[in-house]
Amino acid sequence: MASAEIAGAGPLLRASVRHNVRSFAPWILIPIALSVSSVIVYPLLFPDLAERQSFGATIGSNPALGLIFGPAFDLTTTDGFNAWRSLALGGFAVALGAIFIVTGASRGQEDSGQAELLASGVLGRQSRLVTAVVMGILMSTVSVVITGVITALCGGGWGASMILGIGFTAMGAMFAGVAAVTSQVGADARTASSIAVAVLGILFVLRGFLYSIEAPSWTTWINPLGWVTETRPASGDHWLPLIYPVVLTVVLVAVAFALQTSRDFGQGLIAARPGPSRGSMRSPLALAMRLNRSPALSWSIAFIGLGVVFGYFTGSVKDIFASNPALTEVFAAGATSPDELSSSFVVTILSLAGIIASICGVQTMNRLRTEELEDRAEPVLATAVGRIQYLRSNALIAFAVPAVCILVAGVVMGIFLSFNDLGLTFGDGVRQASATVPAAWTVIGLSVAVIGARPAVRIASWAGVLLSFVLTLLGPSFKLPDWALGFSPFWHVPNVAVSSASGLGLLWVSLFTVGFLAVGVVGFRRRDTP
């Protein structure tokens, strides 16, 4: 690459890092929290080898957990548990951070007009993309150093901790490359990041699904995320698979630079369609629907796929429980008959779908804050549209889309249930999905309260998702008491297939939702925008 093409990249990189360093923090802290908490908590919860072997047998044959965390190679050691619990999720977080950093520093600057100001100085054509990619890889590298060192200092093995951290870096670097390519393809930064996140999500689910169904080993090597999994920290410490992420990153970055030279400034290879000559938005609700139309469609399609995957697992649930009774502590606690085992499994698996769907709702509320920060909310609020009306329209979308997604998953799962001999019907699947919706709304309600009242701490809007995920999936395995599990709204979802089902828990959960909405409405009416 000619030096003129990257002129000014050094000063731009230093200035960009200073300006964006705070945005690195969440994507570095998440893998650190996952890894450090694992090495500290696991010896306390499972001090004996027998307990660890029992826990490993429970987890190892659990297809739903395998879908999220990947295969459990060795849970008899603290480092092995840390690798199982942290590698997939920590790498996912780092990859997400790399995507947002690269798209924000490349296409995001073009969308906001910052790129034109930068281009007016001494700056090569490729300098901004070089800066964006380097920042994405830099964030990923920092995560490996900090995560590896802190994990080792807290009790993890140095070798296993470092290869775990390098796995995070590999994930971040690969998806920095993916984001560099999609930044040339998408019509704007949001489209570019959406495409990259969709690629990450598909590969993540596909990797977990292939491991869960014990697909042929060659399928592992056609998925870039499988390369990272096959490093097997604490279960072999294989360094050779890390060559493939390096090669893929180099290829993707080279493709991105080639594409950038062939597209127009501010335009992607997928051109944006021109809007109508006259605006047709007659209400804030119509505007909110228009802004969130594409994500809503993408999430709905994704939940058809999730419904198929989860429905596929329900077909083998009896065999799974028969081969490993300890799984009932995770997925069917309190069940007293085979039919209750199956229905309790459906409750847990649809709760997982509800947690994933609530991400969509929280995203919608964060989009509301983004509209404020990018000065697009003020022109709307300057019209006859009231603040409460504006917030209510966006909150309605935030609540409606996850509900539709959960019901879509319930309908697809219901179809599988009607063909499997589990004592459950299509209607049971749909009713259970309906009972899950209020719990998801509570998680979204918390984000409404945060964005409405204290947007300065918008990261707290994700607290409900994180808490629900940890308590629902790992709480029973960690033998947490009922009062602790009750902090997750999904713990209160009743099993509608049993005669003793009570909706009292959902009533309490809904009261919290109403309280969160009240806090958000009052706060949004009183605070300044942005």
How far is it, in rounded angstroms, from Cα 373 to Cα 445? 21
Residue 89 CA from chain centroid, whole number: 9
How far is it, in rounded angstroms, from Cα 165 to Cα 86? 10
> For 326-369, what is each residue's pLDDT tens digit?
555 555 555 555 566 677 778 888 888 898 899 889 989 988 98
- Rg over alpha carbons for the chain, rounded to the nearest Å, is 24
Are 409 and 302 in contact by the 8 Å Cβ rule? The answer is no
How far is it, in rounded angstroms, from Cα 448 to Cα 369? 10
Residue 155 CA from chain centroid, whole number: 28
Cis-peptide into 224, omega within 30 deg: no
How far is it, in rounded angstroms, from Cα 100 to Cα 108? 9
Residue 277 CB neighbours (<10 A): 5
Are 413 and 429 in contact by the 8 Å Cβ rule? The answer is yes
Average pLDDT per block of 10 residues along the chain, 530 residues long: 73 85 80 84 80 72 69 85 86 89 86 77 81 90 84 87 89 93 86 86 84 78 90 88 93 92 79 73 86 83 81 67 55 56 80 89 89 85 90 94 93 85 83 94 95 88 85 72 88 84 87 95 87
> For 137-177, what is each residue's pLDDT tens digit?
988 888 778 888 888 888 888 888 889 889 889 999 999 99
Q: Which helix (H) or strand (E) holds 287?
A: helix 284-291
**pTM for the model:** 0.76
DSSP H stretches of helix in 186-278: 189-212, 224-229, 243-260
Q: What is the DSSP string of 62-116?
A: -HHHHHHH---S--SSHHHHHHHHHHHHHHHHHHHHHHHHHHHHTHHHHHHTHHH
Residue 149 CB neighbours (<10 A): 16
How far is it, in rounded angstroms, from Cα 412 to Cα 416? 7
Are 471 and 480 in contact by the 8 Å Cβ rule? The answer is yes
Per domain, the residue ranges of the chain are 15-262, 284-526
Q: Which helix (H) or strand (E) holds 285?
A: helix 284-291
